[in-house]
Amino acid sequence: MDWIWAEILTLSILAVYCLKTFLAHALVWRRLRKNNKAPPLNTELPSISIIMPVRGLDQEAEENFMSFVQSGYPAPFEVIFSVEEREDPAVPLIQRLIANCQTPARVRLIFGKRQDQRELGKTVNLMAGVKESRYEVLVFSDSDVRNAPGFLEH
């Protein structure tokens, strides 16, 4: 008979613990759901310079480049493709993209120059892009990255 009281006590403690856990989860879920609203977008988006160091042609490079050029970003923006060598296979693609560009974005191709062979090409290209940029807000992207809708706004 003593063991029945031990079982009842154990089950009561377990029931209280489960109820407490359920209530804690419900309160946390309620608070997270309440705070899950996205913050409003700033109505005055900054002008941005998108700098893309390029070396060679990545898979789907044209689509990736176009996703930034045709991003629909509502504030002024520019896309700077920075390449180290004029013989790079990406240069004709970028030149064709610039020639066919019908967006308000300023799209430019620049060439970075290494001062020393120990310098990394990507770093040289990034620095050249920063020097040529017109806007204070800089967005860096590799050529194998595709811009998702709304990414630049957020």
pLDDT at 78 > cutoff 90? yes
CB atoms within 10 A of CB 71: 21
Q: What percent of the chain has pLDDT over 90?
A: 18
* Band of residue 138 on the pLDDT scale cut at 50, 70, 90: very high
Q: Distance between CA 24 and CA 18 in Å, rounded?
A: 10
Residue 152 has what DSSP assignment? T
Mean pLDDT, residues 120-149 taken together: 86
> Tens of pLDDT along 12-31?
898 888 888 888 888 888 87
Mean pLDDT, residues 33-40 taken together: 62
Q: Distance between CA 105 and CA 75 in Å, rounded?
A: 10
- Those residues with Cβ within 8 angstroms of residue 112's Cβ, 6 or more apart along the chain or in another chain: 53, 82, 83, 84, 121, 124, 125, 127, 128, 129
The whole-number pLDDT of residue 55 equals 86
* Band of residue 42 on the pLDDT scale cut at 50, 70, 90: low
